[in-house]
Amino acid sequence: MTAPEPMLSGRPARTGRTLALSGLLVAQAGCAVFFLFDVVADLRGLVLLTNENIHHGVELVAVLALMMGIGVTALEIRRIRARQKRVEAQLRIASGAFLELLEEHFDAWELTPSERDVAMLAIKGLSIADIARIRQTKDGTIKAQCNAIYSKAGVSGRQQLLSLFIEELMNDLLVQPVLPE
């Protein structure tokens, strides 16, 4: 596992890996340009390098650089896929933790089953009208249920309700040690 890249101004700082990949990309571009000129020269009957051994040596170096690029690219793809799997697993855990946190608070606030449904839909960001349509009830009913939820939660509105959960999750994340990748 590698440590995450340090952040500078909200962007990852250039690491040795990034510099190496950039250098390899420049080498591959140089190889591509060489081969392009070599093919054009061959088609026109021109000789780029007069010494055949030097010409073959340059081609060999170009081929080796391209092969190295293929290997490094394959390793990077493998590393990216492994990181993606870790992030997806973390997301599943966070999603489960968020639902668990919601249920704990809903239990503590003693929300009715209807209020739980409305609270969940409100937290998801649905409008009063959308919630009323989904629950097949009137807007006034949903507004009353939202007010009851906010009152039981000790908040004044949807934004405070959502921020309550986000803040609690953030506090949990800040307490836990950050594991290197």
**The pLDDT of residue 127:** 94
- Residue 172: the pLDDT is 59
DSSP 5: P
Average pLDDT over residues 31-50: 78
Q: Is the pLDDT score of 33 beyond 60? A: yes
More confident residue, 111 or 48: 111
Q: Do 115 and 79 reside in the same domain of the chain?
A: no
Average pLDDT, the chain: 81
Mean pLDDT (whole number) for 82-90: 86
Residue 39: give the domain boundaries: 14-88
**Together in a domain, 120 and 168:** yes
* 124 found inside a domain: yes
- Domain assignment present for 60: yes
pLDDT at 135 over 90: yes
Which whole number is the average pLDDT over 42-63?
Answer: 76
Same domain, 113 and 82: no
Question: Between residues 45 and 130, which one has the greater pLDDT?
Answer: 130
**What values do phi and psi take at 112, rounded to 5?**
-75, 165
Q: What is the maximal distance between C-alpha atoms in the chain?
A: 88
Q: What angle do CA 27, 30, 35 make, to 5 degrees?
A: 125
Q: What is the pLDDT of residues 8-25, one digit of tens each?
A: 444 555 578 788 888 888
Residues 18 and 68 in one domain: yes
Residue bearing the bigger pLDDT, 92 or 174: 92
Task: Indicate the pLDDT class of residue 136, thresholds 50, 70 and 90.
Answer: very high
Confirm whether 9 is domain-assigned: no
pLDDT at position 13 is 52
In a domain, 68, yes or no: yes
Q: Is residue 171 part of a domain?
A: yes
Give the chain's domain count.
2
Asked whether residue 40 is assigned to any structural domain, the reply reads yes
What residue type is 62 in one-letter code? A
Residues 181 and 114 in one domain: yes
- CATH code of the domain containing 117: 1.10.10.10
Is residue 104 assigned to a domain?
A: no
Answer whether residue 84 is part of any domain. Answer: yes
What is the predicted pLDDT for the residue at 155? Answer: 92
More confident: 24 or 55: 24
DSSP 7-66: EETTEEPP-HHHHHHHHHHHHHHHHHHHHHHHHHHHHHT--S-SSHHHHHHHHHHHHHHH
